[in-house]
Structure 1
Amino acid sequence: MKEISVKEVETLLDDGIELNLIDVREVEEVAAEKIPGVINIPLGLLEFRMHEFDKSKEHIMICRSGGRSGRATQFLGNHGFNVINMTGGMLAWEGKVE
């Protein structure tokens, strides 16, 4: 499974790189705090919404600590998607939030 650190994601965003960030936490978790521009698709709905993903693009999966996003990364990877797990999740995130 491919992984990326929160610092790497923050640096890419600060450099103006457009990223496809998918937050797999529950709606109420994301409503409390999220990375600007993130798309929220709760882990339990991922298999029903994976048709929304572009297989030609890279997607970074995010959750609270890295566990749920790790499961999402494995699941989508097994279905041919280019996905990366953000290790540490929002607990380790020190960048901008909304």
Structure 2
Amino acid sequence: MLKKSLLAVALVFASSGAFAAAETYVMDNHHTQVEFSWNHFGFSNPVANFDQIEGSINYDADDITKSSVEATITTASINSHVKDLDEHLSSA
């Protein structure tokens, strides 16, 4: 999943001809995902996510070194799809 996210960000930066200089894009919480997964003793690979994400991408096509990404993830919004695990992770 991380590879897909990095690919998406790379595609945004690679398509510089499609953007004007110094554009700011606001992340839409309904169209943005932060997910992670882990190997559970070799039997499964559960996936969890955070439901509340805010951020922006500041893209400068003329000087990519001036581009930036800012994101805030509300860790209390963790959603592992297992209530007891969510409570455990939130209390850690």
Structure with greater proportional helix content: 1
More strand by share: 2
**Normalising by structure 1, what TM-score?**
0.26
Q: Which has the higher contact order (CA 8 A, sep 6+)?
A: 1
What's the TM-score, normalizing by structure 2? 0.27
